[in-house]
Chains A and B, each alone.
Chain A
């Protein structure tokens, strides 16, 4: 059973460019989360999916951020018109069942906006 896979692991982009991250959850995990983490902070909730349905998007999240999980398997997180404040590690996690179950993280995708 492979773990959660995230790509790319590292991305350096110029301010104003768009970036997309992909997450492949653990097979058969129906719930998928995206978090953002900056230095010295805990993972900040961005959004989550139950199968292909996006259940919630953080109200702190700019409209420049969008996430999809079109067939209830892999997910993408796109950031449009990147800003330096978007520099962070973007973490994907998945779990089986509904809320309250253990979530398992991927290795994260590091974004640096220059």
Chain B
């Protein structure tokens, strides 16, 4: 099993709808989880992190964590064309070095 897995997409979502991005991880000991956004040709930028089971909301973004299922997700409400990007899930492996998934390409349809 790969350490961090994401569906590569592309995921196409109409403007104004909710985009749902998913990530699974292999290390049961991981305690923190990160979502980065990466525009084409640019470096990743942090959009959210989550440490505790449940939901964490920040503006239009909600991160959801289920440690028992080793699953973390990112919801983007009221999707905008500017949200079109690749979204990377990142997990500290053995709570130390940070490993990234391959990313999910999100395309918001105007």
What is the minimal beta-carbon distance from A74 to any residue of chain B, in angstroms? 18
Most B Cβ at <10 Å: residue of A42, A43, A55, A93: A42
Using A43-B88, A102-B34, A102-B46 as known contacts, say yes or no to A33 and B100 having CB atoms under 8 A apart. no
Interface residues of B in 7-31 (CB under 8 A from A): 8, 31
**What number of A residues sit within 8 Å (CB to CB) of B?**
25
A42 touches B96 (CB 8 A): no
Residues of B participating in the A interface, judged by any CB pair closer than 8 Å: 4, 6, 8, 31-32, 34, 42-46, 49, 88, 90, 92, 94-103
Q: Could you pull out 18 A-B pairs where Cβ atoms are within 8 angstroms? A: A35-B100, A40-B8, A42-B4, A42-B100, A42-B101, A43-B100, A45-B98, A55-B96, A89-B43, A91-B43, A91-B44, A99-B96, A99-B97, A100-B31, A100-B32, A102-B46, A105-B45, A108-B42
- Partner-B contacts on A (CB < 8 A): 33, 35, 40-45, 48, 55-56, 89, 91, 93, 98-108
